[in-house]
C-alpha cells in the first residue's frame, strides 16, 4: 500500500509531470479538524491541503482512488490511460473512531498478514485496529515476566472447530497449532500501523475468556481444573479469581508490559460473557462478596473491573470493555464498546461509547441466507445493505450526549475463519460499507450509489490481491434459507 510520497514521482511522470503539492494549512483558515483535507485537481496542478499529516494522508488516499484501479497493482502495468478528473473536494470524517477488530486467539495470523489488513484499512480511511490478542483458545502476545503465557498458552493440539487441518498453516515444527507475537513483532506492527495513521487497541480479556492464561498459570483461576487451551470454548469454564490478591498482581504485571508496547489511549479489557457459576461455587469468592456486602456476582464483576480500571489508569491509559462492564455499575473512567446494548445508557451517563452491535457490525456472520453457498460461519445473517443502513447514534439518545458516541467498528471473530483469504472475504465489501457509514454524513449516503461505486472499488481490491465477496452475488436476502446442521453437544460459550 503506497504511503504519502511512495508514488508521487511516478504519478507525476505518468501524467506529464503536473505539480503535486502537499500543504499544511493554518488551523485558523478552515475547520478541517485533525483528519480532514482539501483536494484540488486542476489541469496542471494537484494540491492536498490539511491541518495535519493525517489529513494529508487521507487526501492522498482519495487522490489514488481518482486514478485508474491499476494504480494499486503490485506489478508493472501498461496500456493504462493515467488521468484524474478535475475536482475540488473538501472532506472530513463524521466520527473519530472508524475501526476493525480481528480475533487472533481462535486462529493465529502472522505479522505480515496483519500488516496486509492494515494496508487495506488505510485505503478505506479506517483509523483504529482493535487487536483481540487473548481469549480461551490462545494467548498471542509475549509477556516477559510470564513466559508460559506463550510457551503454553499460545498452543493447542489442533485447529479445532471442526475445520480441516489444511485450512491454515499456523503449526509449529512439532505440529502444535497456534503462535504468538514477540514484543519486537508488536513494536513493528504498531509502527507499521502508525505510518498509516492507524491506532492499535490491544485487548487482554478478563475476568472471563481466560482459559489460555490459566492453562499456563492455573493458580490465578477459579473453577474446576486443570485448565487447558481448548479446541472449542466453554469446556472448563474457568475464570480469574477476584478473591486471590495475586491475580491482580499478575494482571497488573501483564498490563504494565502491554501499556509499554501500545502508545494509544485505550486498553481493551473484555469483560464480556463472564460465567458466574465458578464464583458462586467458590468459597473464597463468596467470602469476598460477604465481606464487601455484594448482593450478587454482577456486583463482584463490577468490583473486579473497577480495580482493573485503577490499574490501567495508573499507567496513563483508559479501559475499554464490552457491554457487560455495565453490569453492577460502570467504572468511573471506562469507555464502553456496545455489542448487545447499553451504549445509549453509558453515553447518557457521560461515558464515551464505540458502537459495534452484532446486528450491524459482526462481519463473521453469513452474507447469504443460503448457507451452503457461503463459507462456514458462526451463524447469523448480515447482508451488505444492513451494514450500510447502520446508524451509530443510538435512537432516543439526547443530542447533548451525541458527542460521546466515538464511532463504530466491524468485528471479525474467527472461530470458523482460519486463514487471511477468508478474513478478507468476510470483511469485504461489508467493511467498505461500514467505512462509509463512519466517514460520510448520514444525509448524503445512498445505497444504490454505493453499489454503483462498489463495482469500481472491486477492481481496486483485485489489484491489491484482496479476496472479497463479489457484488454480483447480491445481498443473499432473497436466497432460500438452508437449515443449518444440528450443533454438536460440545460448543463454544458464544461468538466471543
Q: Residue 472 burial (CB < 10 Å; 0-12/13-18/19+)?
A: exposed
Give the per-residue pLDDT at 235: 56
Which residues, other chains included, contact 299 with Cβ-Cβ below 8 Å and sequence gap of 6+?
Answer: 289, 292, 328, 329
Q: Decide if pLDDT at 5 tops 50.
A: no
pLDDT band, very low/low/confident/very high, at 479 (cuts 50, 70, 90) = confident
Tell me which of 78-82, 127-131, 301-305, 393-397 is least confident.
78-82
Was domain 97-473 assigned CATH 3.30.450.80? no
Which residues, other chains included, contact 448 with Cβ-Cβ below 8 Å and sequence gap of 6+?
Answer: none
Stated as kind and residue range, the H or E segment containing 221 is strand 221-222
Give the per-residue pLDDT at 68: 95
* pLDDT tens string 416-458: 999 999 999 999 999 999 999 999 999 999 999 999 999 999 9
Give the per-residue pLDDT at 483: 64
Give the per-residue pLDDT at 263: 98
Provide the pairing of β-strand 335-338 with 353-355: parallel
Q: Phi, psi at residue 288, to the nearest 5°? A: -60, -45
pLDDT band, very low/low/confident/very high, at 198 (cuts 50, 70, 90) = very high
* pTM above threshold 0.75: yes
Active-site positions read 135, 209, 273
Distance CA 273, CA 207 (A): 9
Classified as helix, coil or strand, 424 is helix
Tell me which of 1-10, 38-47, 105-114 is least confident.
1-10
* pLDDT tens string 85-143: 999 999 999 999 999 999 999 999 999 999 999 999 999 999 999 999 999 999 999 99
pLDDT, average across residues 197-222: 96
Q: Decide if pLDDT at 413 tops 90.
A: yes
Q: Which of 495, 124, 125 is closest to 339 using CA atoms?
A: 495
pLDDT band, very low/low/confident/very high, at 393 (cuts 50, 70, 90) = very high
Give the per-residue pLDDT at 488: 44
pLDDT band, very low/low/confident/very high, at 75 (cuts 50, 70, 90) = confident
Q: Decide if pLDDT at 62 tops 80.
A: yes
Q: How many CB atoms lie within 10 A of CB 310?
A: 14
Q: Decide if pLDDT at 223 tops 80.
A: no
Give the per-residue pLDDT at 227: 86
pLDDT, average across residues 50-75: 93
Give the per-residue pLDDT at 238: 78
8-91 and 97-473: identical CATH topology: no
Degrees, nearest 5: CA angle 45-72-117? 125
For residues 241 and 217, the answer to whether their CB atoms sit within 8 Å is: no
Tell me which of 41-50, 157-166, 283-292 is least confident.
41-50
Give the per-residue pLDDT at 224: 72
Give the per-residue pLDDT at 9: 52
Classified as helix, coil or strand, 38 is strand
Q: Decide if pLDDT at 283 tops 90.
A: yes
Q: Residue 490 burial (CB < 10 Å; 0-12/13-18/19+)?
A: exposed
**Domain boundary assignment for the chain:** 8-91, 97-473
Tell me the helix, strand and coil percentages in the chain, rounded to 5: 40, 15, 45
CATH topology of domain 8-91: Chitobiase; domain 2 (3.30.379)
Distance CA 324, CA 330 (A): 9
* pLDDT tens string 226-240: 788 888 765 556 799
Distance CA 26, CA 50 (A): 8
Q: Decide if pLDDT at 319 tops 60.
A: yes
pLDDT, average across residues 347-356: 98
Average pLDDT, the chain: 91
Q: Decide if pLDDT at 69 tops 70.
A: yes
pLDDT band, very low/low/confident/very high, at 494 (cuts 50, 70, 90) = very low
Q: Which three cell numbers stand for residue 416?
A: 470458523
Provide the pairing of β-strand 177-178 with 155-156: antiparallel
For residues 42 and 66, the answer to whether their CB atoms sit within 8 Å is: no
* pLDDT tens string 454-478: 999 999 999 999 999 999 998 888 8
Q: Which residues of 41-50 are buried (b: 16+ CB within 10 A; e: fewer)?
A: beeeebbbbb
Q: What is the DSSP letter of 373?
A: G
Residue with cell 445481498: 475
For residues 268 and 201, the answer to whether their CB atoms sit within 8 Å is: yes
Amino acid at each position: 500500500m503506497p504511503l504519502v510520497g511512495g508514488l508521487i514521482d511516478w504519478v507525476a511522470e505518468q501524467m506529464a509531470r503536473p505539480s503535486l503539492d502537499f500543504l499544511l494549512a493554518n488551523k485558523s483558515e478552515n475547520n478541517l479538524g485533525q483528519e480532514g483535507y482539501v483536494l484540488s485537481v486542476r489541469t496542471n496542478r494537484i494540491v492536498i491541503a490539511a491541518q495535519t499529516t493525517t489529513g494529508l494522508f487521507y487526501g492522498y488516499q482519495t487522490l489514488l482512488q481518482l486514478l485508474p484501479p491499476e494504480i494499486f497493482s503490485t506489478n508493472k502495468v501498461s496500456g493504462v490511460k493515467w488521468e484524474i478528473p478535475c475536482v475540488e473536494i473538501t472532506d472530513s470524517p463524521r466520527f473519530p473512531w472508524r475501526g476493525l477488530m480481528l480475533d487472533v486467539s481462535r486462529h493465529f495470523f502472522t505479522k505480515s498478514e496483519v500488516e496486509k489488513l492494515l494496508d487495506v484499512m488505510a485505503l478505506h480511511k479506517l483509523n483504529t485496529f482493535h487487536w483481540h490478542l487473548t481469549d480461551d483458545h490462545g494467548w498471542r502476545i509475549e509477556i516477559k515476566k510470564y513466559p508460559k503465557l506463550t510457551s503454553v498458552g499460545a498452543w493447542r493440539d489442533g485447529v479445532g472447530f471442526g475445520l480441516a487441518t489444511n485450512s491454515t498453516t499456523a503449526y509449529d515444527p512439532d505440529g502444535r497449532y497456534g503462535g504468538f507475537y514477540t514484543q519486537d513483532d508488536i513494536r513493528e506492527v504498531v509502527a507499521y500501523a502508525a505510518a498509516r495513521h492507524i491506532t492499535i487497541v490491544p485487548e487482554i480479556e478478563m475476568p472471563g475468556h481466560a482459559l489460555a492464561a490459566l492453562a499456563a498459570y492455573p493458580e490465578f483461576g477459579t473453577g474446576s481444573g486443570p485448565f487447558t487451551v481448548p479446541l472449542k470454548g466453554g469446556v472448563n469454564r474457568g475464570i480469574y479469581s477476584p478473591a486471590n490478591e495475586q491475580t491482580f498482581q499478575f494482571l497488573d504485571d501483564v498490563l504494565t508490559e502491554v501499556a509499554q508496547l501500545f502508545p494509544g489511549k485505550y486498553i481493551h479489557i473484555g469483560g464480556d460473557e463472564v460465567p458466574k457459576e465458578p464464583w458462586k461455587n467458590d468459597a473464597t469468592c463468596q467470602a469476598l462478596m460477604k465481606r464487601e456486602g455484594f448482593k450478587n456476582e454482577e456486583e463482584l464483576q463490577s468490583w473486579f473491573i473497577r480495580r482493573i480500571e485503577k490499574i490501567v489508569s495508573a499507567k496513563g491509559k483508559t479501559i475499554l470493555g464490552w457491554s457487560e462492564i455495565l453490569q453492577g455499575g460502570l467504572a468511573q473512567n471506562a469507555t464502553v464498546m456496545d455489542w448487545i446494548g447499553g451504549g445509549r445508557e453509558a453515553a447518557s451517563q457521560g461515558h464515551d461509547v464505540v458502537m459495534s452491535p452484532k446486528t450491524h457490525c459482526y462481519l463473521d456472520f453469513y452474507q447469504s441466507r443460503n448457507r451452503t453457498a457461503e463459507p462456514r460461519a458462526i451463524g447469523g445473517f448480515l447482508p451488505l445493505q444492513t451494514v450500510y443502513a447502520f446508524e451509530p447514534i443510538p435512537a432516543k439518545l439526547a443530542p447533548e450526549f451525541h458527542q460521546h458516541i466515538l464511532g463504530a467498528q466491524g468485528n471479525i471473530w474467527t472461530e470458523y475463519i482460519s486463514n487471511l483469504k477468508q478474513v478478507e472475504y468476510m470483511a469485504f465489501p461489508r467493511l467498505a460499507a461500514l467505512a462509509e457509514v463512519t466517514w460520510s454524513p448520514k444525509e448524503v449516503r445512498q445505497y444504490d450509489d454505493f453499489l454503483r461505486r462498489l463495482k469500481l472499488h472491486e477492481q481496486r481490491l483485485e489489484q491489491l490481491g484482496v479476496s472479497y465477496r463479489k457484488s454480483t452475488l447480491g445481498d443473499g436476502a432473497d436466497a432460500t434459507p438452508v437449515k443449518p446442521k444440528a450443533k454438536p453437544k460440545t460448543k463454544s460459550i458464544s461468538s466471543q
